[in-house]
Structure 1
């Protein structure tokens, strides 16, 4: 009952932040789908120009998605919510005491809702282009190397992403560049890692595509690996910095403003009045 009461109070105060998270992951999925159609659909001029150049096509998608992340992090909505757009990221910041329990739950619900809704909208509006085997609803499933390799690859890239994110946010000179660093990692992952695991990093995004495609092969690993890896990254961060505090859970890099979900004095912020 205490948690439900917390969530009601948080919902009244912070609903714009949750809306920003839902919109953010929806925008991410929309851009990812359009870029994949551009570079992978056989009827696309870009695909035809780069036929047989799988690495270059993946790099093209990677550049586009890297820039999408930059836009999401640094736009006003992203600065409001922190631009997590990923349950694993939100849980890691909650583990560090940078977002309150009720807000973390609302964030995750909003991320899931945004991904599921966008998956259905893309299915409805893009039809055969979204369903084409070359696009395949943007489903992330284990490749020919199997689920064990996919799990390991997802775990490693998720751990690296969260470590880079935390170290950058903790660094006075780098914290404002965190979004660009994430975008750069996304470019590298899409270009070089995606043949191993389809490159998810994001349980909500994977679920949105899986439900649209009604295909759930290996879905568990795209939840367990990113969440486990990012939580482990918080342990690594605390070991390195021996309990030093992180300024905030806002990827654009800043101190948390009053009356936001982001904690500045763990474990409770702000005090309810």
Structure 2
């Protein structure tokens, strides 16, 4: 059957895959890499038999500070890598939803992005479970890095509120940076710094997800889905609302692309209304 014979949206999805599959693979690889790094760093910081057990701080707060510093570098590596620049390094369905809402990503691309992100998160967490197993990845101090509300700290209402606030703030900071000629190239580092701060201060409240796909991947690895709906509701809703609010209040430079590393229009890539995102401009 030819592509033109397919139902309209199915045909659009098929044509988008033919044109942009490297972008989707980049999204899957980016989130898979993020999940693997988060798992490995958590094992190194928290597992009692960790090779770093003799040097990691005894304080939970300081260990989270070390973990946050490590994840800052991971985020920067993803955002500014050639693959991250190619796809935009969304690595989060909620971020993709926001860029789609802004008109910087067509619907078929957005659908493939979300599917790729889910696949990457599931593959990353599955890889950790398959290689480290219950002894390391499933140890009570690591718990598959699953994100779940803590009943001792208010349960799902607190986790829902905390996830909403941190997601709203993160999207607002991202949009503020990407709409600024001075800050757009620093957006990845700003997000990394914010993520490190969240790991340090917010983790006890909700597990610090921000990302529905990441939470699903670790939940499947753990075989535990308690409170998963919180992480599928709060981040997308918060980032959607932040995008709506930002568009209402912001009247400065327009967003040129859906790429977290930032970009600027060029003669070969004018970012005209007819251009098909995702597209990174040639240097």
**Category of TM-score, reference length = shorter chain:** over 0.9
Matches within 5 A, 1:209-224: 209-224=218-233
Distance in 1 of aligned mates of 2:16 and 2:112: 8
Q: For residue 231 of structure 1, what is the aligned residue in structure 2?
A: 240
Distance in 2 of aligned mates of 1:111 and 1:165: 19
Matches within 5 A, 1:1-273: 1-50=7-56, 52-127=58-133, 128-143=135-150, 144-145=152-153, 146-242=155-251, 245-255=254-264, 264-265=271-272, 269-270=275-276
- Runs of 5+ consecutive residues of structure 2 not aligned to the other structure: 1-6, 278-283
- Runs of 5+ consecutive residues of structure 1 not aligned to the other structure: none
Distance in 2 of aligned mates of 1:250 and 1:232: 20
Asked whether the equivalents of residues 42 and 48 of structure 1 are also in contact (C-alpha less than 8 Å), the reply is no
Distance in 2 of aligned mates of 1:116 and 1:14: 21
User: How far apart are 1:223 and its partner, in Å?
Assistant: 0.8
Distance in 1 of aligned mates of 2:264 and 2:104: 11
Q: 1:257 to 1:95 in 2, by over 3 A?
A: farther
TM-score (norm 2): 0.90
Distance in 2 of aligned mates of 1:100 and 1:69: 25
User: How far apart are 1:265 and its partner, in Å?
Assistant: 4.4
User: How far apart are 1:44 and its partner, in Å?
Assistant: 1.8
SS at match of 2:200: helix
User: How far apart are 1:237 and its partner, in Å?
Assistant: 1.2
Asked whether the equivalents of residues 180 and 253 of structure 2 are also in contact (C-alpha less than 8 Å), the reply is no
Q: 1:129 to 1:152 in 2, by over 3 A?
A: same
User: How far apart are 1:192 and its partner, in Å?
Assistant: 0.5
Distance in 2 of aligned mates of 1:112 and 1:55: 30
